[in-house]
Every structure is written in C-alpha cells, then in structure tokens.
C-alpha cells in the first residue's frame, strides 16, 4: 500500500514549527490522520530525521492544544521525516522524486508552501519539471499571495499551468477562527440580527485588527509586504466579505464563495482627489531600526480605511477598517453600530446643544470578538433603576473562550484548515477570484494614494496609531470604537 503525505516546503520555519506541527499532532491525537500518512519537512539545514523530530518535540510540547503525551508523540513522530533541498536548484527536484519513490509515496500528495512568496514559482517549476504528478496533488499556498495585482496574477498563471484549479488551496488562517465561522450562524440563524442587517438599521461597521508586537524576527519579510499585503488585502477583506455578503442560496462552499465574491465586485471606487479622506497609512516610530528593515523604509505598519459597498443592502453604510503593529493592544473585533431609533433621533434633535445627554439613548452595538477573547457583546439601552427616567446602557456578554470545555473542543485554525484540505473541503479557503478582485481594488486605491497623497505618518509605539486616522471617521461625525 502506498503512503499519502504532506510535504512542507519551509519545514524548518517558524510557521511549520509553531503552527503546523502542533496542529498535526493534535489531528493525530484526535485520530484524524490516516494510518499511512507521512509528513516530510523540507529545509536547507543538515538535519537527520532524529534531529528534526527532537526539535519538533519541543515545539509540540509548547504549542499543541492538547497536553503533551510522550508515548503518543513518540508514535506520531515516526511519520515525520526531513529532506534537505535548495528551492532554487531545479535539478534537485529529480532527487526529491527519487526519495518519494523510496518512501513509497502515492501520487495523492499535499504540498504546503510555508515559504516566502518569492519561492512559489521556483518550487512549482521544480516540481513540474521532473514529474507530472503535480496535476494530481494539492498545494496549500500561504499568504501573502503576491504583493500587488500583477505579481498575484503572474503566480496564478504559473499555478494554472501545472495544477488543477480545484487542487489549489489559498490559505487564510483567519478563516479557520472560531468566531469568524460563527458570523454566519449569528447572522443567518437569528431573526433579531438577520432582519436588521442592512442600511436601514446599521449606521456603520468597524473592523479592528490590532497587534501589540512589532515585526520581531520577520523584518525582512514584512518590509517587502507591509500592512496592506500582510493584513488588509487578505484577512480584513475576508472578514468584511463575510460580514457584508448576502445570504447565500445554500451553505455549500461554492454558494458562500459566490456571495463573498459579489461583495468584492461592489466595492466603491474612491475618487482620486479624496483619497486622504479614505485612507491613512502610518509607520511606528523605530520601525526603520528593526533588524532586516531598510533604514529608509517607507513600508506602512498601519493602515486605516473607509470602504463603501455599492449594493442595496449597504448603500451609504461606511465600513471603517484599521490594522497595525505596535499598537496599544492585541485585539481583533468586528463592531456593528446600529442607527438610533426614531425616538432617540427626536430626543437628540430636541436636546441638542443643552448638554443634557443623560436621557439620550446610545446606539446599539453588536461586537463580535475574534481574539484574544472570543465572544459577543451586545450593548443596549435600559431605564436606569430609580425614580428618574434616565437611560442607562447595559451589556449582554457571551464569552465563548471563557468556557474551558469550548477551548478544549474547538480546533485551532491550522488544525481545522489542514483537516479541511485533507478532506478536499474548500469552504474555508479563498478562491482566486477573491484574491484578484481584492488586489484590483487595492491597486487602484494605492495608485491614487501614491499620486495624490503618499503620506506616511509616524506613530508612537503603544499608541492607537496615527492621529490622522481619526479624521477619516471624525469627518463623518463618528468615532472609532
């Protein structure tokens, strides 16, 4: 019997050690790996299988979801192998295939490109040069997919040349996060939300992805991509399309993707001269002194944007998005701010200017917390207990991650996504069209930005980002939440 296998290019990298191997160990523990399944890590170092397994052991101990079990790990690690290869040496791929034969591997392989995008083309060419089994294999491609529209299109052409479209898995690990998967349930299985998920009731949507860390050891990679390619074009646009999509006809992978893609097609173009009202870029103080970062770098570590979707549901509802490094907190959340009720609007009109805002109800807010805490908070108005008619704000809070049982039962992103790929389930992976449309939109925005603004604001580490980002939302009479 032949052995199926996952081949990890970049098998000695941070992603493989910190995320992939702990996830694979968890899948093993939950009996989700086939019996004859091998994992082959590829890197440039001179490791034996034993060296490699003992390194992986330490990472699994620290990063797997389940408590480490020595006996189980010893069995699991028998399926792990190390192979040394330089990606750029195309002739070396012939030896790789010889090695696959020695390992009695089937043609049903999964290649994981856990490497910088500059290697995608070489690896694909190398694999295609010496065998045509690539057509039968799957590849998992890490983000960022390209650094702009042209580079993404070029990579796509190379993949299309050698691979069947259905076998390309563009991974966005945010799509495996529990609360992101929950958005569709919250929206489509609750009348109280589904009925009001439109411009009649929603005033604005805010998507925040804050990181408190800087580039750390990844300065070389980050300096070539920046916040737009690293976060906005992929993670944030995915989140936005899930929040905004119309109800799909069915919950099949293709209907969900179609609904998401409709949103990308409807992103409103930004009038070139108004670009400063729609986008602010920043760089944290000290970024240019980070290791492997160009001392004159103009790479953005922060981006804030206002985005409109030109369809019936979202006509004139702004989506404000923000992401950045070295900010005041680590947090990812989606905030749906509802419009005031007719009664509140009337009261606001009457009381406006007299300072007596005690009686004015606040807008309802639904906050979907994605990380670090996972859960939902719903803010609503109540009468303040007592003899006055004052209005107070109450919060209904559901913390999913506070429940230990939920944490144990809920697979982590990479675990969920690796399992989905093994089962050929594409729902949690991006489609090429999504990538292309989001790059098309961002390319145009960036062209305008370079031409009509090109500002890059330096912000203090640990702050909320450049003060200029306040203007985007402040001009509309709103505040970031």
Binding residues for NADP(+): 44, 143
* CA–centroid distance for 336 within its chain: 19
DSSP string, 268-294: PPPPGGGGGGTEEEEEETTGGGSTTS-
CB neighbourhood size of 424 (10 A)? 10
Which positions make up the binding site for substrate?
Answer: 173, 177, 211, 230, 325
Is the Cβ of residue 367 or residue 415 nearer to ligand NAP in the bound state? Answer: 415
Catalytic pick among 130, 235, 328, 343:
235
Is the Cβ of residue 171 or residue 280 nearer to ligand NAP in the bound state? Answer: 171
CB neighbourhood size of 327 (10 A)? 26
Residues in 14-43 that interact with ligand NAP by CB under 6 A: 14-15, 18-19, 43
Q: How far is it, in rounded angstroms, from Cα 97 to Cα 160?
A: 21
- Residues 143-182 vs ligand NAP: string with x where CB under 6 A? x---------------------------------------
- Residue 11 CB, shortest distance to ligand NAP, in Å, is 6
Residues in 99-118 that interact with ligand NAP by CB under 6 A: 114-117
Q: Mark whether 86 is an active-site residue.
A: no
Residues in 249-278 that interact with ligand NAP by CB under 6 A: none
**Residue 74 is encoded by which pair of tokens?**
């010893």
* CA–centroid distance for 225 within its chain: 15
Q: How far is it, in rounded angstroms, from Cα 210 to Cα 208?
A: 6
142 interacts with ligand NAP by CB under 6 A: yes
- Residue nearest ligand NAP (C-beta atom): 13
- Residue 172 CB, shortest distance to ligand NAP, in Å, is 9
Residues in 41-60 that interact with ligand NAP by CB under 6 A: 43-45
- Residues 64-93 vs ligand NAP: string with x where CB under 6 A? ----------------------xxx-----
- Residue 127 CB, shortest distance to ligand NAP, in Å, is 13
Q: Residues binding ligand NAP: what is the number (CB under 6 A)? A: 21
- Residue 51 CB, shortest distance to ligand NAP, in Å, is 12
Name the segment binding ligand NAP (CB under 6 A); options: 13-21, 313-321, 361-369, 391-399: 13-21
**Residue 236 is encoded by which pair of tokens?**
């944030």
- Exposed e or buried b for every residue in 346-368, given b needs 16+ CB within 10 A? ebeeeeeeeeeeeebbbbbbbbb
Task: Tell me the three state secondary structure of residue 283.
Answer: strand
* CA–centroid distance for 276 within its chain: 26
Say which DSSP state 232 is in.
I
Task: Tell me the three state secondary structure of residue 313.
Answer: coil
| Residue 424, H or E segment | none
**Residue 134 is encoded by which pair of tokens?**
């690539």
Binding residues for ligand NAP, per CB under 6 A? 10-15, 18-19, 43-45, 86-88, 114-117, 142-143, 221
Q: Which positions are annotated as active-site residues?
A: 235
């Amino acid at each position: 019997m032949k052995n199926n296998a996952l081949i990890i290019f970049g098998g000695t990298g941070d992603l493989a050690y910190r995320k992939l191997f702990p996830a694979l160990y968890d899948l093993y523990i939950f009996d989700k790996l086939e019996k004859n399944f091998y994992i082959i890590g590829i890197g440039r170092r001179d490791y034996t299988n034993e060296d490699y397994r003992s390194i992986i052991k330490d990472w699994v101990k620290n990063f797997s979801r389940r408590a480490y079990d020595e006996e189980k790990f010893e069995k699991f690690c028998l399926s792990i192998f190390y192979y040394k290869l330089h990606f750029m040496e195309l002739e070396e791929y012939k030896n790789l295939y010889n090695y696959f034969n020695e390992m009695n591997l089937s043609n049903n392989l999964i290649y994981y490109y856990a490497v910088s995008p500059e290697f995608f083309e070489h690896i694909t060419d190398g694999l295609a040069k010496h065998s045509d089994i690539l057509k039968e294999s799957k590849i998992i491609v890490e983000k960022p997919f390209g650094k702009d529209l042209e580079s993404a299109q070029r990579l796509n052409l190379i993949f299309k040349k050698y691979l069947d479209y259905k076998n390309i898995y563009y991974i966005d690990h945010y799509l495996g996060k529990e609360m992101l998967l929950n958005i569709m349930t919250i929206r489509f299985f609750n009348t109280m939300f589904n009925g009001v998920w439109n411009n009649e009731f929603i005033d604005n949507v805010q998507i925040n992805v804050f990181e408190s860390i800087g580039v750390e050891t990844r300065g070389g990679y980050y300096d070539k991509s920046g916040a737009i390619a690293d976060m906005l074009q992929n993670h944030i646009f995915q989140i936005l399309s899930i929040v905004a999509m119309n109800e799909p006809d069915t919950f099949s992978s293709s209907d969900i993707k179609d609904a998401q893609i409709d949103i990308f097609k409807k992103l409103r173009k930004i009038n070139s001269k108004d670009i400063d009202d729609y986008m602010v870029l920043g760089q944290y103080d000290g970024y240019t002194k980070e290791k492997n970062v160009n001392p004159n770098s103009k790479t953005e570590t922060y981006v804030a944007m206002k985005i409109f979707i030109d369809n019936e549901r979202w006509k004139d509802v702004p989506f404000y998005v923000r992401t950045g490094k070295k900010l005041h907190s680590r947090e990812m959340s989606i905030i749906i701010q509802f419009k005031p009720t007719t009664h509140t609007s009337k009261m606001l009109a009457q009381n406006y200017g007299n300072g007596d805002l005690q009686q004015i109800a606040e807008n309802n807010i639904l906050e979907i917390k994605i990380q670090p805490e996972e859960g939902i908070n719903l803010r609503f108005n109540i009468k303040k207990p007592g003899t006055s008619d004052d209005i107070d704000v109450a919060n209904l809070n559901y913390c999913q991650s506070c429940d230990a049982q939920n944490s144990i039962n809920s697979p982590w992103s990479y675990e969920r996504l690796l399992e989905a790929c093994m089962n050929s389930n594409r729902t949690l992976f991006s489609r090429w069209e999504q990538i292309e449309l989001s790059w098309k939109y961002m390319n145009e925005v960036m062209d305008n930005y370079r031409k009509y603004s090109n500002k890059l604001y330096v912000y203090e580490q640990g702050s909320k980002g450049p003060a200029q980002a306040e203007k985007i939302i402040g001009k509309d009479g709103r505040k970031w939440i």
